[in-house]
Amino acid sequence: MAYVAVKGGERAIINSHRLIAEERRGNPDLAELTISQISEQLGLSVDRVMNEGSIYDRDLAALALKQAQGDAVEAIFLLRAYRTTLPRIAVSKPIDTTRMTVRRRISATFKDIPGGQVLGPTYDYTHRLLDFALAAECGIGKPEAELADEPLDSVIPRVIDLFDGEGLIEADISENDEEVFDLTREPMSLPAGRDQRLQNLARGDEGFVLGLAYSTARGYGGAHPFVGELRLGEVIIEIVPEDLGFPIEIAEVTITECQMINQFRGTAEQPPQFTRGYGLTFGHCERKAMSMALVDRALRARELGEDVRYPAQDEGFVLPHTDSVEANGFVTHFKLPHYVDFQAELQLVRQLREQREADQAKEAAE
């Protein structure tokens, strides 16, 4: 009999690691990518990996991308597994996005806004024509954009705050000193507070959150969103060390913030007003920030007394399924051997078929 027990798993695994290293390197006649090349020239990829990997470190994210052959989900996983081993030294003070060094800032609600509309770097109005100049051997040299005549204001108010005086939009939730939920240290618990929800969405898979956001605007959620404001730029991170007692600056990070305005028809208790959905990401991730803001708003359905009728409004559906590391792990685990359970099912199906045949024979005889 030709049965050979499946032995040698260990050697196979080591060999497979060597093979993947070889594939990752590609043609050795070509120069090897450096981390700084990835970080500089594949910046949006790096931003996504930092964002869903929940750690602001461009070099580590670039390394993860190199190691993962550019597979974003795999790179996010690498970064998360590293991040979880890091000590938690301090919790930063809330960032103030009105003090952001703005590079891009747009609003869809007003033509002109205090501080001005700033288009900044965006693919929005590029024609998506493949640029063969980028493929040319000689490269593209050093493209440079012209500087504006005068710098932007150092403090640029948020568009959404302009309504505040009229009560047309719900008030910003006031700052409180309660400890913020930390999804990376505590298990998710439903119903989720907004801190938990926003952390979950910020770490969530961009594609999944985008799809959910899309569904809310296609009748599965009844969203009528307006981009109150979308801004991109650098903010200062501050912490207050216990022995100092006053804040010190520890970093400057790039973030994208989206304030989405949604209609709310009001209830018996509350007059009609606009409501908020909020999105914030590391790096330049507009698609993600907007999707996050839409889903955040959809998930506020219960809080606002709306019927929870669609998937994007149901936190029990949304929040446990956003995480790409979890989803990827579980879906791909079906590759693992399941032959014990399959044997059990095989036996059952055979029994059920036998019984069916017997029943049919009996019926025919009668």
Site string for other proteins, 104-143 (x = CB under 8 A): ----------------------------------------
- The answer to whether 74 and 58 have CB atoms below 8 angstroms apart is no
Among 141, 151, 165, 187, binds other proteins (CB under 8 A): 187
Site string for other proteins, 145-184 (x = CB under 8 A): ---------------------------------------x
Helix orientation angle between 194-203 and 43-53, rounded to the nearest 10 degrees: 140
The yes or no reply on residue 193 touching other proteins (CB under 8 A) is: no
Closer residue to other proteins, CB minimum distance, 10 or 307: 10
Q: Which residues of 69-82 are buried (b: 16+ CB within 10 A; e: fewer)?
A: eeebbbbbbbbbee
Site string for other proteins, 6-25 (x = CB under 8 A): xxxxx-xx------------
- The answer to whether 282 and 56 have CB atoms below 8 angstroms apart is yes
Smallest separation, CB 354 to other proteins (Å): 11
The yes or no reply on residue 49 touching other proteins (CB under 8 A) is: no
The yes or no reply on residue 80 touching other proteins (CB under 8 A) is: yes
Q: Which span sits near other proteins by CB under 8 A: 19-27, 105-113, 164-172, 338-346?
A: 338-346
Closer residue to other proteins, CB minimum distance, 2 or 130: 2
Smallest separation, CB 317 to other proteins (Å): 8
Residues 206 and 289: their CA atoms lie apart, in Å, by: 9
Q: 311: buried, middle or exposed (CB in 10 Å: 19+, 13-18, 0-12)?
A: middle
Closer residue to other proteins, CB minimum distance, 131 or 354: 354
The yes or no reply on residue 351 touching other proteins (CB under 8 A) is: yes
The yes or no reply on residue 87 touching other proteins (CB under 8 A) is: yes
Across the strands, what pairs with 248? 239
Nearest to 303 by CA among 181, 196, 194: 194
Among 189, 219, 244, 246, binds other proteins (CB under 8 A): 189
Q: Where are the beta strands (DSSP E) in 29-163?
A: 101-106
Smallest separation, CB 36 to other proteins (Å): 10
Say which residues have a Cβ less than 8 Å from residue 120's Cβ, sequence separation at least 6.
102, 103, 104, 105, 232
The yes or no reply on residue 92 touching other proteins (CB under 8 A) is: no
- The answer to whether 35 and 15 have CB atoms below 8 angstroms apart is no
Smallest separation, CB 207 to other proteins (Å): 18
Residues 102 and 155: their CA atoms lie apart, in Å, by: 9
- The answer to whether 304 and 268 have CB atoms below 8 angstroms apart is no
Residues 232 and 242: their CA atoms lie apart, in Å, by: 31
**Distance from CA of residue 145 to its chain's centroid?**
30
Q: Where are the alpha helices (DSSP H) in 142-252?
A: 194-203, 206-217
Smallest separation, CB 133 to other proteins (Å): 32
Among 18, 23, 30, 85, binds other proteins (CB under 8 A): 85
Site string for other proteins, 219-248 (x = CB under 8 A): ------------------------------
Question: What values do phi and psi take at 180, rounded to 5?
Answer: -80, 135
The yes or no reply on residue 91 touching other proteins (CB under 8 A) is: no
Q: Which span sits near other proteins by CB under 8 A: 172-180, 251-259, 263-271, 312-320?
A: 312-320
Among 38, 46, 49, 63, binds other proteins (CB under 8 A): 63
What's the chain's Rg over C-alpha atoms? 26
Residues 265 and 284: their CA atoms lie apart, in Å, by: 33
Q: Where on the chain is the footprint of other proteins (CB under 8 A)?
A: 1-3, 5-10, 12-13, 35, 57, 59-60, 63, 77, 80-87, 184-191, 316-317, 320, 325-326, 328-333, 336-341, 343-348, 351-352, 355
